[in-house]
Structure 1
Amino acid sequence: MVTRTAAQLREAAREEYDAFMATCPARQLLDRISDKWVSLVLTALADGPRRYSDLARKIAGVSQKMLTQTLRVLERDGLVSRAVTASVPVRVDYALTPLGRSLLPLMGAIKAWAEEHIEEVVAARASYDQRGDNG
């Protein structure tokens, strides 16, 4: 068995969580939180728990399948909790966990940036497309 120094162990740990590496767990998490449905679900839950149907109404264009999948992966990652209340019909509420809530400042800032700068991006796209030398 090879013995490594403390410095070598620290370096190995640093490399293990290098998001530029394809196999890095942090990169997998970045992939997850950069998904449009994930960001919309997280920000939709910012004001407190919501039922599935409330989320579906709030997030225009999300299919039932995609919303279900998104909620499941967020629950698995510990960002969203699911609470089932025994009633007729059964009530299911989704809420941000403390870990999920810690993402809100970032998600809110990205959403605000997109809303503030969309006209500039649309203009840049049109300019690029008009040049015709983009391919």
Structure 2
Amino acid sequence: MASSKLYVFDEVAKHNKTKDCWLIISGKVYDVTSFMDDHPGGDEVLLSSTGKDATNDFEDVGHSDSAREMMEKYLIGEVDSTTVPTKRTYIAQQTDALKEDNSKDLLVKILQLAVPICILGLAFAVRVFTKKEE
């Protein structure tokens, strides 16, 4: 990389979603958004490494030489090391898939409540309209 852009930690930490994911590894900033679907460990592994220095996460896995070479195409700059906190304070965002699952769960809960109410209402209406006058 001929001229390297310098990023502050807070800017890099904002990129913490499946469709916008940046990582800090060994002082360098990588935009791995286009690699999310292809990562052998899945996108959750990459998302869990956002909002912090992911060097230890990366090294602990023991990536191959070819994986290390592949990183070069995702390199977008360097991080200002003075802006990286020593302790992680960032709480990871839910993945897009998890958010979708949560909205499905809400729909199921609404239906679980609404269906019995509709059945009771229908039963009441049938009883009222079919009741013989005495």
TM-score by length of 1: 0.26
Greater RCO, 1 or 2 (C-alpha within 8 Å, sep 6+): 2
Q: Compare CA radii of gyration and give the structure with the larger one.
A: 2
Which protein is richer in helix relative to its size?
A: 1
Q: Which has the higher strand share?
A: 2
